[in-house]
Structure 1
Amino acid sequence: MSDQDTLRHGEGTTHFGFREVPESEKATLVGQVFQSVAGKYDLMNDLMSLGIHRLWKRFTIDQARVRPGYQVLDVAGGTGDLGAALAERVGPGGRVVISDINPAMLEVGRNRLADKGIVGNVEFVEADAERLPFPDDSFDVATLAFGIRNMTHPDQALHELYRVLKPGGRVLILEFSHPTWPGVGPVYDLYSFHVLPRLGQWVAGDRDSYQYLVESIRRFPDQETFKGMMETAGFDLVEYFNLSGGIVALHKGIKI
């Protein structure tokens, strides 16, 4: 079906990497990507970022300022790396809910945390970030790492994050962004488009999925634009931190 046909049938289009697809198809296409890469997802993160993603996530955890007893939501938390660190900080009196739309990613996370003995204060929930199955004002902190660019309606996901946070709660969204250091952009493009898909083929046996992931990064809004989207969703005191020269940015906002 062409874009024109899609629009005539009353449905808009959205991007899936550099392709335009019907909105109703994106979640399925993204689901297929993560179903394919789930088993190698964390290994590929280490290889693609040379391990630096661990520092980005540690910075996110520090900025979350989670305290014992907090109720924390980690959206698109799949393999559980943020969730494990958050669970240690909330302690036995707190709770971390790890949600993800993809059951394969959740299974990886569930097994990983069980192997670490982190089970008592963690809950795994299969959920769409655009329709979170939680009451209003439920969580002290919400985190979302490298997931919002894959959503069909990221603005709706932002509204949902705002809804489920308690007044005074904070959201932290870690995502690939737009390089700010002079000269980094061309080198980053060369690495992204020529090295990462080949790495995906060699390690995960899936070039196409990693080609999509690279393209999805390029389609994601720049830092200032995404800051505006968070403000439109209702968040106050929105700020962002450029990491690794803007290759990644951590966005933070408060629900007043």
Structure 2
Amino acid sequence: MGVLEDKSRARLFYKYLSKVYDRVNPFIWNEEMRDEALELLDLRPDDRVLDVGCGTGFATEGLLRYTDDVHGLDQSAHQLERAFAKFGKDDDVRFYRGDAERLPFADDSFDAVWSSGSIEYWPNPVAALREFRRVVEPGGRVLVVGPDYPKTTLFQKLADSIMLFYDEHEAQRMFEEAGFVDIEHHIQQARPGTPRAITTVARAPDDESADDESAETVETDA
């Protein structure tokens, strides 16, 4: 387990990163990449959407272009303070401090769930994905963006020591184990030579009988 897959360490890390997050983030996950991912989620104007690991609200801002019913959750009080400063005063978004592995919402509460730049800090990604499946309505879509696994041994060792990095096969395993179907994986990259993101879109089964439905994998290169 990487050093930042510990929740207390991750909170401390974001206490300081929150001060420069909005300036650093575009070098890894920029507006163009976010907007491409938003198109994959296929949101409707009346959808109720949960943004897990909302941070300072970079993805939240994009989600608000599609629906006014956006809810943001993060474990970092410092990140949430900055997100609330952007949106909370106008009540455009409801924010919650909470844990991705124990979401404080009832079953079937949302039409869609989005999470970008958060899965790499979860000690138990499958548990969190099962929570996503629980709170999204049957047939609802989930999108998760995480860091693609490096291709060289040196960077693989470095990545493994810090936080969760994974490839399409591991993403497929995690989403299948969490019970999702119609699973697709897309590789995104700001420009050649920059870190690659793996964006996975999946659907919650329409009912329990759909659990046995085979999942389809679609891979695209940057």
Q: Which residue of 1 aligns with 2:220?
A: none
The secondary structure found in structure 2 opposite 1:137 is coil
Q: Sequence identity, in percent?
A: 27
Note the 1:181-220 alignment, pairs <5 A. 185=151, 189=155, 215-216=161-162, 219-220=164-165
Pairing 1:103–2:90 present: no
Q: Which runs of 5+ in 2 are unaligned?
A: 206-222
> Highest CA radius of gyration, 1 or 2?
1
Q: CA deviation at 1:61?
A: 1.1
- Whole-Å separation in 2 of the counterparts to 1:135 and 1:223: 30
Structure 1 segments unaligned to the other structure (5+ residues): 1-13, 18-22, 180-184, 194-212
8 Å contact from structure 2 (residues 147, 166) kept in 1 = no
Matched letter for residue 120 of structure 2: R
Once the two structures are TM-superposed, the CA of residue 226 in structure 1 deviates from its matched residue by 1.4
Aligned residues of 1:150 and 1:216 also touching (Cα < 8 A) = no
Q: CA deviation at 1:232?
A: 0.7
- Which among 110, 127, 130 is matched to residue 159 of structure 1? 130
Aligned residue identity for 1:102: S
Q: Flag as ranges the 4+ runs of structure 1 deviating above 2 A.
A: 213-217
> What is the deviation of 1:227?
1.4
Question: What do residues 209-245 of structure 1 show as CA deviations (whole Å, max 9, x unaligned)?
Answer: xxxx89535x422221111110110000111011137
Number of corresponding residues: 198
Query: 1 or 2, which has the higher helix percentage?
Result: 1
Matching residue of 2:87: 113
TM-score (norm 2): 0.81
Higher mean alpha-carbon deviation, 97-106 vs 223-232, is at 223-232
Is this contact kept in 2: 1:239–1:252, CA < 8 A?
yes
1:40-71 Cα distance to aligned partner (Å, 9 max, x none): 0110112x33xx52222111111111111110
Aligned to 1:4: none
1:75 partner letter: V
Q: TM-score, normalised by structure 1?
A: 0.71
Per the alignment, residue 47 of structure 2 pairs with 70
For residues 114-163 of structure 1, give each alpha carbon's deviation from its aligned partner in whole angstroms, at most 9, with x where no partner exists.
5xx8x344100001010000000010110000101101111111110010
Residues 133, 76 of structure 1: CA spacing in aligned structure 2 closer, same or farther, 3 A cutoff?
same
- Distance (whole Å) between structure 2 residues aligned to residue 238 and residue 214 of structure 1: 25
Query: Is 2:180 the partner of 1:231?
Result: no
